Amino acid sequence: MLDKLFARYEELYPELVEIRRELHRNPEISNEEVETPKKIAAYLIELGLDVRTGVGGRGVVGYLKGGKPGKTIALRADFDALPIQDEKQVEYKSQVAGAMHACGHDLHTTTLLGVAKVLSEIKEEIPGTIVFLHQFAEETTPGGAQFMIEDGCLDGVDVVYGAHVMSHEPVGTAQVIEGYASSAQDDFYVEVQGVGGHGASPHMTVDALVTACQLVVNYQQIISRRVSPMRQAALTVGAIHSGSVTNIIPDTASLKGTVRTFDEETRDVIENAMQQVTASTCEAAGATVKFNYIRDCPSIFNDATETDRIREVAKWVLGTENVSDAEKMTGSEDFAFYQQVVPGTYFMVGGGNPQLNAVYPHHHPKFDVDELSIQHIGKIFIGGALNYLSDGEIKKDLKKNSVLL
């Protein structure tokens, strides 16, 4: 059965490439997506799916109810672009000034539309329901996932899968990881209030700028002395602002930054330590302070069973030698919010190809990927979803090279 579905997906490839390029020419940045969700909804409606629009704000959810009773699986793609000027010299270059798909979300969306089309053609044979989650605003904080969940996009869903194309991995490969896969993202904002004065009379002031600089130094000791060396974490001060002229000691200083962790225990340790260090450092300097720590996005935690399922399907699609276990990503992804509601897994597929100049990192003005990765993600989605809904009855015998349903 899977052989036929994969062949059908390959037949759609030219159509899917055109969809991806149309999306690439017409990007819409986070929380400004208007036409993109309309196009997605129209495509799914034409396939005969039940469709909800405006989910959580701008999300689109399609429901493919199989002809047989069974469980429910959700497949997720994001569709927002970034505020970056496209510098590629290709015919499908962004036509919108200051906006481009620099992270592959156009490809994710296209892939999931193709999956919906193939699976809708065997609707009566599907045991259960497949939910297609098209998410807005993944690139912002807070991302669209939370709002779509609050609006019921996971109601009745038993498991969720997501995928990301990776420009630094060769096309034709896939990477999976069990357990923690991406870091949590937290942001902090600090406002130090001192007493300003003349640069020639520092003894008559409470120097907010010096105090803020001391905070930057003291924060680094949290990672080296408060966090276990067996844990992974990063604390970065990304900006500090204070003063404007050479001979005035400023009365205020502000700084902000980000914290990345994987497990909740380390997350708690760092937040509590930052509160203590901030208060004590400012008190010692005679300054007052406002400290705001925001937990933006949790860690992706991939379910062992579902990750193993995707690993085996990916080996079937791409070959055992082309599927590997990935290292944890220090970036964050709001797919993690879905996994706080239902178990699931998030996998990566290679899209890099030097021959196509698809070598630039994500969020780069010349970012691009090999569009063959559409086929690879799509086939893994199809195989994984049907294997799950059939309770694993779709099996791969690597020696016999056969698929059974």
Helix (H, G, I), strand (E, B) or coil at 208: helix
CA 325 to chain centre: 18
Question: Is the Cβ–Cβ distance between 94 and 152 less than 8 Å?
Answer: no
Looking at the DSSP assignment, which residues form a beta bridge with residue 78? 135
> In the structure encoding, which two tokens stand for residue 68, read together?
């047989």
Termini Cα distance of the chain: 7
- CA angle (37 as vertex; 169, 386 as ends), nearest 5: 55
Burial 129-150 (b: 16+ CB within 10 A, else e): bbbbbbbbbbbeeebbbbbbbe
Helix (H, G, I), strand (E, B) or coil at 393: coil
In sequence order, what are the residues at sequence separation of 6 or more whose Cβ sits closer than 8 angstroms to the Cβ of residue 366?
87, 88, 357, 360
Strands (E) across 221-377 are located at 233-241, 248-249, 252-261, 288-297, 301-302, 323-325, 344-352
- Distance of alpha carbon 40 from alpha carbon 105, whole angstroms: 13
Nearest to 176 by CA among 396, 399, 404, 377: 377
- Distance of alpha carbon 344 from alpha carbon 207, whole angstroms: 50
Residues identified as active-site: 80, 138
| Helix pair 373-389, 13-25: axis angle to 10 deg | 110
